[in-house]
Chain A
């Protein structure tokens, strides 16, 4: 897609004075969605990290002030136990972001290792890929429900339960890139030159998998945040005493008609974070993976 950036006067301005500011501005104009997503994500991360400084105590209950509408004292109102919904929404960002980022990192690492080594022995590849097909057929939310009911509810189990169904997608992606790289002349040249197999793997096979994996990692992060919230909401995720957006919505859903703010604000926060991560993913895909960008 060709984009026309500015008229002739601005181009000459930029050419004569390529200051750091104008370069940054050009980046913003060329990648509006990527920058928008990054800004939202950055704000959310800062709020999550500095939650104790920004927000009040998310656990303090004021039974006299139950289900109060948003006001100057309580920006997002109070919930059924008189807790500050604003404070809980800010604190809730911690679990969501932590789960999203850890799931993305773990599933990409595990999937990368399996994907790279699966191809070294032919029968290993067949077994591993069939195993991955089977894993993909099990619905993620149900697998997580089963694991939480067997192993008990904790943030760690939730992360593992979300990582497992994501791994096959990463393995498939890595396999497809590796299979096409393996046919390249420079790989054949390296083999003919007598380079050890691990050197070929790290120098030639690994690098081309990185850009699509970064894109995939952001999408995994978005879906992990959604699944974590869904599991909390269903009562099969993060223990209910920890303020997460899913837990907040689950706890106050019966007060929907009396106190919609209890559900509205965590819901909006959740949607905003996932939207931001998805926009970053789309932006990265357009920059890093032109092959897919053209098709989407």
Chain B
């Protein structure tokens, strides 16, 4: 088990190093002067000189990379061109809305999707199964922003049940915070639900075909108990894996959802940076989101050891 964890930690470190190298090279490959990209058009000559010195463009590329990477490791992601503030500080200010949105989405999506997949596998071949599969193909095909605007139009503009856009900080009232997150979470979660529901159904079908399920039925265990305790527990590994892989879907979706619903999170930070050509912010957010993706998948792999004793050896 220890060997498994150590191996997994090493490969995570390697992947993160590759990500850092790729992002570092991207800026060097771009046409034009990297300094100009990092300081923008309105920089003073002194500023330009400072950044040039900081980057050490005359040093060998390995030295440049190490200078940059050692800063990133301690959380120094550079200075925003537009607001002149450290990127890490700007990201920190936007953390709460993004965390709220993703946390509510993950909880809502995982609960809905596992229930849907369970139901489809239990009633396999019936209209319920076909309905679940049809919903999952459909929600995989409709883009986040189209779902978002349709939801806003129906539930906020026509029915007036929920707010159109915006975000309320959790400190200003739990009810208002939750109301503002309902539509964004549904829009963001739909494709994620489709993915998890499909895998849950497949994994459950495999598990339900096992002998121990038949034995459980035969000895008179209730259907409910067979489904949740025997089958679902054994279908756990693929479901947890896809929850981790699907985080990539959520990360891309967060950027779009925050734009549609005008939520001042990290996604909006990066979209606003497109308009102002604020490359340090874009680079910082890529590093952050790639890091989250890698760490989530590391945690997923480590939970295997809890779910499936066979992997511990």
Which residues of A pack against B, CB within 8 Å? 130-131, 133-135, 137-143, 145-151, 222, 226-227, 229-230, 233-236, 249, 253, 256-257, 260, 263-264, 267-268, 270-271, 274-275, 278-279, 282, 295-296
Q: Which of B17, B22, B143 is A271 in contact with, Cβ under 8 Å?
A: B143
Residue contact B157 to A257, C-beta cutoff 8 Å: yes
Smallest CB–CB gap between A5 and chain B, Å? Answer: 17
Is residue B259 within 8 Å, beta carbon to beta carbon, of the partner chain?
yes
Residue contact A142 to B141, C-beta cutoff 8 Å: no
Residue contact B157 to A141, C-beta cutoff 8 Å: no
Residue contact A150 to B37, C-beta cutoff 8 Å: yes
A-B contact pairs, 23 of them (CB 8 A): A133-B15, A134-B18, A134-B21, A134-B22, A138-B286, A139-B286, A140-B248, A141-B256, A143-B286, A145-B255, A149-B274, A229-B143, A230-B143, A230-B256, A233-B145, A234-B256, A253-B149, A256-B152, A257-B153, A267-B142, A267-B149, A267-B150, A278-B137
Q: Which of B21, B137, B274 is A279 in contact with, Cβ under 8 Å?
A: B137
Smallest CB–CB gap between A99 and chain B, Å? Answer: 14
Q: Which of B138, B146, B150, B282 is A149 in contact with, Cβ under 8 Å?
A: B282
Smallest CB–CB gap between B110 and chain A, Å? Answer: 20
Which residues of chain A are within 8 angstroms of B277 by Cβ–Cβ distance?
149
8 Å CB interface, B117-172 against A: 137-138, 140-146, 149-150, 152-153, 157
Is residue B180 within 8 Å, beta carbon to beta carbon, of the partner chain?
no
Q: Which of B15, B153, B252, B259 is A139 in contact with, Cβ under 8 Å?
A: B252
Q: How far is the CA of A235 from the CA of B274 in the complex (A)?
A: 7
Q: How far is the CA of A221 from the CA of B114 in the complex (A)?
A: 28
Take A133-B15, A138-B286 as given contacts and tell me if A234 and B137 are in contact as well, using a CB distance cutoff of 8 Å.
no
Take A151-B30, A296-B198 as given contacts and tell me if A146 and B286 are in contact as well, using a CB distance cutoff of 8 Å.
yes
Interface size on B, residues (CB 8 A): 53
Smallest CB–CB gap between A208 and chain B, Å? Answer: 23
Which residues of chain B are within 8 angstroms of A133 by Cβ–Cβ distance?
11, 14-15, 18
Is residue B174 within 8 Å, beta carbon to beta carbon, of the partner chain?
no
Q: How far is the CA of A132 from the CA of B117 in the complex (A)?
A: 31
Residue contact A271 to B141, C-beta cutoff 8 Å: yes
Residue contact A138 to B22, C-beta cutoff 8 Å: yes
Closest B-chain residue to A135, C-beta based?
Answer: B22
- Grouping DSSP codes into helix (H, G, I), strand (E, B) and loop, the B interface class, with mixed when no group exceeds half, is helix
Sample of 13 more A-B contacts, CB < 8 Å, known A137-B293, A146-B279, A274-B141: A130-B18, A139-B286, A141-B255, A141-B256, A142-B251, A142-B255, A145-B282, A146-B283, A150-B31, A222-B141, A233-B259, A275-B142, A278-B140
Take A142-B286, A143-B286 as given contacts and tell me if A295 and B251 are in contact as well, using a CB distance cutoff of 8 Å.
no
Which residues of chain B are within 8 angstroms of A138 by Cβ–Cβ distance?
19, 22-23, 286, 290
Residue contact A139 to B289, C-beta cutoff 8 Å: yes
Which residues of chain A are within 8 angstroms of B149 by Cβ–Cβ distance?
249, 253, 256, 263, 267
Take A149-B279, A150-B27 as given contacts and tell me if A274 and B143 are in contact as well, using a CB distance cutoff of 8 Å.
yes
Question: Which of A138, A256, A271 counts the most chain B CB atoms within 10 A?
Answer: A138
Closest B-chain residue to A146, C-beta based?
Answer: B282
Question: Which of A139, A141, A151, A235 counts the most chain B CB atoms within 10 A?
Answer: A139
Residue contact A275 to B259, C-beta cutoff 8 Å: no
Which residues of chain B are within 8 angstroms of A234 by Cβ–Cβ distance?
255-256, 259, 271, 274
